Structures are given as C-alpha cells and as structure tokens.
A and B are shown apart, each in its own frame.
Chain A
Amino acid sequence: MKSAVVVFPGLNRDRDMLAALESIGGIPPVTVWHKETGLPDVDLVVIPGGFSYGDYLRAGAIAARSPIMQAIREKADQGTRVLGVCNGFQILTEAGLLPGVLMRNASLRFVCKTVRLKVENADTAFTRGYSAGQIIDCPVAHHDGNYFADSDTLDRVEGNGQVAFRYAEGTNPNGSLNDIAGVFNEAKNVLGLMPHPENLIEAAHGGSDGRALFAAALDQVA
C-alpha cells in the first residue's frame, strides 16, 4: 500500500515516521510539503510529530490552516486512512477532523518516557493487529498531550467506540480525560494518538509493540 507523509515546517519526527513506514510497508512513502494543495494517490496519509510552527499560538493551530489540510479533509471524507501522531494528532483536532483538544500536560512539563497503553477498540483498519484489551508499551514525548473534550463530546466518543488507546496501569503522563491516548473519527478511518509507535518497532528500540499499528494501516496483516 502507498502512503504519504505530510511535512510542515517545525515537524521533527518526519524522519522517524518515514523510516518506520518504509521498514514495515516495504515502499518509501511520498513526502508532501504543506503548501501543496493536492495529495498523491495513496491509501494512507500520515502527519508526524514535532513542533509545527514552533507550537506558537497553540500546538497544531497554525498548521491546521495550511493549504494541504483541505486536501487531507477531502481524502478523509472519501474514506482514505489518515493518521496523526503527537503534533499530527494536535493538528487533526485543530482542523476539526478529530473530536476534542489537547491541552498542556497537567504537570506543565514536557514528558518523554515509555507508558503502557490498553487497546480499546481493535476492530478498525489501524488497530486490527492488536486484540481488544491488549496492553502494549509505547513511548510518549510531548508537552501538550492532555486530552480534553466537553462531556457531550466525551460521551459520544466513548459511546461510538472512538477511543483507540487508553493509558493503562496508572501511566497516564499528562492528565488526559478518561486516560485517552488516541481517538478515531466516527468513521474510524482517521486516527490521532499522542504516543509514538514509530519509535518502538524493532529490537534496537527495546521492543516492537508499535509495529502492528503500521502493519495494519498498510494492510500488511491478514
């Protein structure tokens, strides 16, 4: 399957994401500069992590208004898979493609460590490589990962099976409501998550729990 990685100025985990997608999918992804207005014909669009526009104003707020976002919105509406990791998640919420917002960590400090995640919904194109309730390791590295939504939105997200991952075993690193680490859109073809599965895909990373996410998104699983 073909994939594209969208690059905004200030993103810095684009290289990690490109390496992960190539290593798992076998095909180097296409890189798309944020000023472009169209996307190539791909099956997966990824917005990686970093600090687009320095996180100035609000994390993801400026990037969400870049020309490429309209093309991403159209692809998402057509059912193409869209994945946002960390800053990519923040950009997708700012663009209204995912519910909720990501506030400053409750500690008010940046946090980089490995947390435990519970796979909440394993019945999607992204998560079918896991089983529901499975606990996996995954690193986080962010300053604004504190997931928040108003109570109506939260009820809807919970009721529709839109929670993808929850921080498990007391490892919530940022104060997120309901320990939410990642959410889908209603159609489940758009996923945003704060943790970095691309940094845990091989023995040299100390584990490969993140691999199944990309394998599924790239149709490398049965």
Chain B
Amino acid sequence: MSIPNDIQITADIVANHGLSSDEYEKIKQLIGREPNFTELGIFSAMWNEHCSYKSSKKWLKTLPTTGTRVIQGPGENAGVVDIGDGQAVVFKMESHNHPSFIEPYQGAATGVGGILRDIFTMGARPIAAMNALRFGAPDHEKTRHLVSGVVAGVGGYGNSFGVPTVGGEVEFDARYNGNILVNAFAAGLADTNAIFYSKAEGVGLPVVYLGAKTGRDGVGGATMASAEFGDDIEEKRPTVQVGDPFTEKRLLEACLELMATGAVIAIQDMGAAGLTCSAVEMGAKGGLGIELDLDKVPVREEAMTPYEMMLSESQERMLMVLSPDKEAEARAVFEKWELDFATVGRTTDDLRFRILWHGDEVANLPIRELGDEAPEYDREWVTPPAPAPLGDIPRMDVGEAVLKLLSSHRFASRRWVYEQYDTLIGGNSLQTPGGDAGVVRVAGHPTKALAFSADVTPRYCEADPFEGGKQAVAECWRNLTSTGADPLAATDNLNFGNPQRPEIMGQLVKAIEGIGEACRELEFPIVSGNVSLYNETNGRAILPTPTIGGVGLLPDHANMARIGFAAKNQPILLVGAPAAWGKHLGQSAYMKDLFERSEGAPPPVDLQHERRTGDFVRSLIRSGMASAVHDLSDGGLAIGLAEMALASGIGAEITALEGCDPVEVFFGEDQGRYLVTLSVDPQDEALDKLWQDAEEAGIFAPWIGTTGGTDLTLGAAAPLAIEDLRHSHEEWFPRFMSN
C-alpha cells in the first residue's frame, strides 16, 4: 500500500493532511515548487495546530512567563524553575485527549510516557506526576469503558516507569461524551548547571537516534489530534501509538547516565510528529541544517517508506547531537541498557532539512521556515454571551444536600482511581491524592519539599471564560498555599473546541486573558504548556477547560498543613470570608448537581484579596498555629468541612449564622476562602493577635465552630454522623464501575 514519493499532489491529498488550500499555496511559495509526498507529510506535521499553535500563538504571547526564579519558560520541552541550592524543578502538562478517546489504555499510557520524556529530556529525573481527567456523563454508554481504560493506562505506564502519581482531577460532564480529556503532568528535579536543551550547536556533528525502533504506529497522529471527530472515529484507531514503559525506564536511565558523561550537545525527544519535529527543532533553534539518512534508522517493520518513517509516532525515542569524541562512550551506555543507538545524520551549515533514502534525496526543505513560517492566525472571535441571571434558589435541607452531594459523581471519593496509581514510589511522598495538593520531598535536602496541584472549574469557564480562567489559576495557587507552600510557577493545558468558530475562539481568548491577569497578580508565571483544540464531536464542543498545573515550594516540610482535622476542641476559622461567610450560588454545585440548573455568573475572584488571604494563611502554617488547612472551592463550606472531617474521623460543630440563609452560607462558592483549624486554646491571647493581624491585612477570619465528636453539625441542621458521610462518599465510584 506504499504511496510513491513522486505522486501528483491533489486537492484531496492536501485536505487529508489537514492543510487548507491557502496553506498549500504558502508551501509552494516557500519552496518554489510542488512538494513531493514526503515533503507534504513533513509540512502537515509541522503546521498542524498541535505542533504550530497557529490559532493560539497570538494570545499565548500575552501570558506572563518570566520571574526571578524562572530559568526556562515556554518553548522548550518543559519549564525550568529555580528552587535554590543549585537545583531546579522541571515541569509541564500536556494533553492526550484524542488518542485516549480512540484507544483509552494506550492513549493515556502514551500521554504519560510523552510528558515523562519531556522532563528527562531536559536532564531531570521525574519525581511526581498528576493527571487531570474528564469524562462524559456517567450514564453515557462509553464512559465506564473509557474510565477503566484511561485509569489503567495512566497507572500501567507511570507505575512501571516508577514515578509517584500524587494528584489530579477526575470529573464527569455530558459535554465530554464524545471528547474526553487526558491532561498529563510531570515534574522532575535537575541541577541548575546540568539542564539540557534542544538547540543544536556545531556543524558536521553526529545526529544520533536512541531508544526504541521505528514502526508504523501513530503515523499522522498529530494531524489526527488537530481535527474534529465525526462518526468515522473508529477508523482512526491505527493512528494511536503503543507505549512501552519498560523501554522508557531504560531510556531514562541511559539518558541520565549519558548526560553525566558530557557527551550530549543537544537533545530532543520524539513526540508528536516524531523524527520530523525533533530534527527540525534541533536544527532550527541552532541555526543549522540537518541531514538524515533514513537507511540508518532502526526500524521494526519491513518496507517502511520515508513518509512513514518521518511521520511515525513510535514511542520511547530520542534524537541527540553528540560530541563526536564521546560517541563510543555514548554507544556503550546504550548497549548496557539494550537500547538502539544509531548515527542517522549530521548537522550542516546550509539551513536545509534533507532526507536521504536508498541513495535518493526524498526531501529538501528550508528548516527555519518549517517552524517559524508556520501560518499564524488571528482568528475571528466574539465575546461570549453573559450567562442568564440567577433565578430563585430552590430549598433543600442542608444535611440532606450534603449527603446527596458527597454521593454524587462530582464529590464522591476518587479512591477507586488513585489506588490504581503508585503514589508512594520514591519514598518521598508526603501527601498523596485526597488532599489539596500532592507533596513530595526533595530527596537529599533535609527540609525542602515540592507541592503539586492541577485545577480548573469548566462550568465557571463556560459561563464566563475570563473569570473562569482567573479562577483556575487562583484555585491552583490556593491549593498549593493550603499545604504551606510558596507557589512558584504553573503550566497550562488549554482544552477547547474548534477555533474556527468565533464563539469558541472567544472562549480561548477570554480564558487566556483571565489566566494572564491572575498569573500576573499572583506572581505565578506560566513556564510551559500545551493547547488542545478541535475537541468537538459532530459540531458539539467540550466545556472550555484550561487546566492549570502549579508547583509550590515548602522550605520546611515539618511545617506542612494537611486537610484532616488534627485534634478535637480546636477552633475553626473561615479565613477570607465575606461578612455572611458565603453568598455566591451562581454556577454552584448546589444548583447544578441537586437541581440541574446552570444559570448565574460564576463567583468572581478578587485577586488582591486572594493574594492577601493566601499570604496570611501561609504565615499561620509557618508559625505552627494552623493545625489543618483546606481551601474552599466546589461545593463551598459544607463540602469543605465534610472533607476535613472525613480525612481524620474527627467531627465538628458549626455555629448557626443568625439572619443568613443557610443554603448560601454552606453551599456558596465564594472564592479566596480557607478553612483553618488552630492548635491554640480559644482563650489564648494568640487568637486575639491573629484577628488583629487579619484585620490589618483586610481579611475577615471568623471563628465558625469547633472540632470534636463523631458528627458534623452544620448550624441548625440535624447532626450528620461521620460514618454516614463516609458511606456516602466512598460508595459511588466502586458501584459505578461495577455496574
């Protein structure tokens, strides 16, 4: 079925490569002739949305990406942030949405593999992973199959590779019925003087291929990931890659061993668009040409064409430019780990990307233009319409509402999911899933630890992308703060529908504006990220889902906060509360999940208040006064309190707030709030001092109740036994998956 390289390129062939006729004209202008089939494939791989960011670039440029600790912002395999003592944290989040819908196990597994490779390509040993997963409605016919496959795939790859999965999200909404989201995050540790980049330097140096052999899997994957789905989705299965975590683990060890020898000049992993993308990046960034001889590429299938080899997305492969005097040493490292090592080309000074095969030149393209001259669009967009105003608030008994919410798909325990992930490997996990953020010790340092959280509330983003974008950043920052960490920087994974529709483009533009504003105000720069567009099936888009993955630094993990109530008879403060404790029910889980109503504006985020409140909470944690901390988000005060009680088995009694609506108080989703319990006697004057400090900082921190007993009593509502809460909370997921 091989297609000859000199085939006449027709309009149909161009369209099948996801290129518009304008884009094809641009290609012809650039190279001054018709491209051949392999060249067309190379252009389609470089110019698709996934690799070129052609719809989003204009807006991504507006994000803050620098800061005193930022060593490397967007544009490399991952962001790099200084954590002191000569070390850096290297991290990124990336989507594998389309492949995971087509083949959930392999799609999710290779998503994890891809992000881990991005991390160790930079010289960092991965120390933590997270996964933000979004599935369709629980009762949709495909959902259970997808949950089962994706979770097994995430675990299957990460567990075998050997990285602890310490956090993430799992959510359900009918808007993801035809397009699930798998956003994989990974972070690693590196020495600041041993970070590796993709920029090649030096002419005539060997370009070396490392890792697994090249097969036909994933040919055209990046192009597939940049298209909408229709009913022919099943036909796309062959474009999904197959993961081999065993090879990736050996590749990690071999790469780190090789980097330590000083042999590596430049390195780039082969991810989307494989050999094409990695070679072009290395050459274009270094101002060099690259010549590849495909007869030298290790292959595992017979009669592969140049087109297939250039577009293969076979996993666990790397491309390096090596120092020529160290080639033998490098080969020995790879032979020890039983991995392929082949010199497949060289760097040149002519800025051309040349591909040789069976003695013929099968492609000869200008290397810079493949990347830099990729089309960049200023797509038409419209401001998304304001949500309908919030109508009457339906009533429900507070206790009944809490039990219903805890046993709903949104708030049910994710134990069924995270027990399939190795959360402990490495021996440095201080907080595993179930809290506000995952926390991992910095091995070798006596006190430091890193905190990780991934967040977004898509229904807020749908109602108001600007406020929703702000809120995603603020919630992530808040979750890191809740452990006592200083938030350092973030990575963004922007999942949206078809950008050629102005209303979708409007969501993207407004969400990026909101993210940018929050990141600036909170000094929380974006250092890496990924954009996933065309998440639509038959014209219906997903909820706008800009996932924010954040990293924070704890100077001393002895002063780290957890969410479980620490002891009985401790005062509970609601730090950052409005006068009525809670008010905002627009877009709340109370309205959405109990009454299927989704009107009203989402809760606004006052970023200056957010920052003041977070800094205040962090100071309480550092001083040792705070014994437990939990940020309030989805579900409001009632759910936050229930989660703190469930994490410890200790109950609490909350004062009834006179003259206020208990539904607003307990289920309002007002932002910038934390529940903090104190290890001080309520009579102690330290408490007065705390309130004085709070007042000076412009923060309201009312004492709302006291821990103790085995019930959770919310104001005037009947007490809820923690055992009943636990039953509600733990029951939903296993029952759903066993149906």
Contacts and interface: CB of A to CB of B under 8 A. Distances in A.
Interface of A: 9-10, 12-13, 15-16, 19-20, 50-51, 53-56, 109-113, 139, 141, 143, 196, 198-199, 204-205
A54 B247 CA distance: 8
A10 B425 CA distance: 14
A204 B442 CA distance: 12
Contacts of A54: 160, 244-247
Contact of B426 (A15, A55, A109): A15
Nearest to A9: B250
Sorted nearest first, the 6 A-B pairs with minimum C-beta distance are A12-B162, A54-B246, A16-B427, A51-B160, A141-B422, A199-B424
Nearest to B560: A204
B421 A199 contact: no
Interface residues of B, number: 30
B147 to A, nearest CB: 12
Contact of B246 (A13, A15, A51): A51
A16 B155 contact: no
Given A54-B246, A204-B430, A13 B420 contact: no
A10 B337 CA distance: 10
A112 B426 contact: no
A112 B425 CA distance: 10
Contacts of A19: 427, 443
B419 A143 contact: no
Nearest to B431: A206
B423 A198 contact: no
Contacts of B159: 51, 110, 112, 141, 143
A102 B110 CA distance: 27
B257 interface: no
29 contacts: A9-B250, A9-B338, A10-B249, A10-B250, A12-B160, A12-B425, A13-B425, A15-B426, A16-B427, A19-B427, A19-B443, A50-B160, A51-B160, A54-B160, A54-B247, A109-B152, A109-B420, A110-B155, A110-B159, A110-B420, A110-B421, A112-B159, A112-B418, A112-B423, A112-B424, A113-B419, A141-B425, A204-B557, A205-B427
Nearest to A205: B427
B433 to A, nearest CB: 10
Given A9-B246, A55-B246, A112-B419, 14 more contacts: A10-B250, A12-B160, A12-B425, A13-B162, A13-B425, A16-B425, A19-B443, A51-B245, A51-B246, A110-B420, A112-B418, A141-B422, A143-B159, A196-B424
Contacts of A56: 246
Interface in B418-449: 418-428, 430, 441, 443
A20 B418 CA distance: 25
Contacts of A10: 160, 246, 249-250
A13 B427 CA distance: 9
B443 to A, nearest CB: 8
Nearest to B253: A9
Interface string B548-590: 0000000001000000000000000000000000000000000
B161 interface: yes
Interface of B: 152, 155-156, 159-162, 244-247, 249-250, 337-338, 418-428, 430, 441, 443, 557
A18 to B, nearest CB: 10
A126 B652 CA distance: 44
A114 B623 CA distance: 31
Contacts of B152: 109-110
Contacts, number: 77
Nearest to B444: A19
Contacts of A205: 427
Nearest to A206: B430
Nearest to B441: A204
A107 to B, nearest CB: 9
B427 A198 contact: yes
Contacts of B441: 204
Contacts of B155: 110
Contacts of A113: 419
Given A111-B419, A112-B419, A12 B246 contact: no
A49 to B, nearest CB: 8
A60 B595 CA distance: 53
Nearest to B416: A109
B251 to A, nearest CB: 11
B424 A141 contact: yes
Contacts of A9: 246, 249-250, 337-338
A199 B428 CA distance: 9
A56 B244 CA distance: 10
Contacts of A110: 152, 155-156, 159, 420-422
A6 B244 CA distance: 23
A198 B230 CA distance: 50
A55 B160 contact: yes
Contacts of B338: 9
Contacts of A141: 159, 422, 424-425
Contacts of B430: 204
B292 to A, nearest CB: 29
Contacts of B162: 12-13, 50-51
B422 A112 contact: yes
Contacts of A139: 424
Nearest to A49: B425
A139 B425 CA distance: 10
A134 B152 CA distance: 35
Contacts of B427: 15-16, 19-20, 198-199, 205
A19 B443 CA distance: 10
B321 to A, nearest CB: 26
Contacts of B557: 204
A113 B419 CA distance: 6
B550 to A, nearest CB: 22
Contacts of A20: 427
Contacts of B156: 110
B379 to A, nearest CB: 43
Most A-side CB within 10 Å, residue of B152, B159, B424, B557: B424
Most B-side CB within 10 Å, residue of A15, A16, A112: A112
A199 B446 CA distance: 18
A20 B441 CA distance: 15
Contacts of A198: 427
Contacts of B418: 112
Contacts of A55: 160, 246
B421 A112 contact: yes
B106 to A, nearest CB: 15
A117 to B, nearest CB: 16
A20 B222 CA distance: 43
Nearest to B247: A54
A205 B425 CA distance: 11
A112 B420 CA distance: 6
Contact of B420 (A12, A111, A204): A111
Contacts of B426: 15-16
